[in-house]
Structures are given as C-alpha cells and as structure tokens.
Structure 1
Amino acid sequence: MSSGIKFCYTCDTDEPHRPLTDSEKVWLKNRTGQRNVDGYFMCEAPNCRNVRTGFNKHPFDPVIRVPLPD
C-alpha cells in the first residue's frame, strides 16, 4: 500500500502518512525486534508520528510514535 491518506488510530481521523525513512526503519527494528519493517507508515499530523502498517491501523499496544529527528 502506498503513502497517502490513511486512518490514524491516535488522531482518530484520516491523516497523511508516509513510509518510514531508512533511519526510522532502523529505529523501529531496534524498538520492536522485527526484522522487516518495510510495510510501516508514519502519521504526518502535527505532534502525532504514530506508526501503522498499510492494513493495520493499530499494530502496537501501546502505540509507537517515531521520535523527532535529532
């Protein structure tokens, strides 16, 4: 599934999402222990940064948010 407008579980609305960058993928792999995180997207709403897959709007409990870049 490509980037675009998807439902965000934490915003409770449809919001723009984008695929994770390479550094965000490394961070998520370390955070979750998953080997493949290519199917994850990040909500681009201000102050959200919630992570979801293309088909699963709530893959983590509690939710995981990508940290702001350094």
Structure 2
Amino acid sequence: MPSGIKYCYTCDADEPHRPLTGPENAWLKNRTGQKNVDGYFMCEAPKCRNIRTGFDKHPFDPVIRVPLPD
C-alpha cells in the first residue's frame, strides 16, 4: 500500500490521508482536550475529512471530521 494511503472508517475504503496542519492540530486539541495530536491524519476523500491515527482507524465515537477552512 503506498505511503499516505490508509483505510478510512467512514469511506469504508483505502483513501489518501495527510497529517493535520498547524491550525487543524490546534482545532483538534481544543475539540478533544488532548495535549498531543501529532499522530492524527485526515482523510482527503472528497467531503470526508475524517480523522484517524496511524494505528487506530476509528479513534473517536462518534467520528470527528476536520471542518472546512474559512
């Protein structure tokens, strides 16, 4: 499987993922209260934006999706 391709729980398919940007990291820290969110990735499939870690494909219940940038 190519680098950056991970299983997306909400898409139910292997999709490209990327690490969160600085503003997205800050948003997720505020949303979850976690101090370190460096290990999270966002699904890049159109209209998905689901978050997962490198090892856990479903870390949040209900799922958390990164909001679209303003």
TM range (shorter): over 0.9
Which 4+ stretches in 1 moved above 4 angstroms? Answer: none
- Pairing 1:57–2:57 present: yes
| In the alignment, structure 1 residue 32 sits paired with structure 2 residue 50 | no
TM-score, scaled to structure 2: 0.96
CA distance in 2, matches of 1:40, 1:4: 12
Query: So what's the TM-score if we normalise by structure 1?
Result: 0.96
Residue 13 of structure 2: aligned partner: 13
Cα-to-partner distance string for 1:9-64 (whole Å, 9 max, x where unaligned):
00000000000000000000000000000000000000000000000000000000
| Alignment length (residue pairs) | 68
Q: What percentage of residue pairs aligned between the two structures are identical?
A: 85
RMSD: 0.7
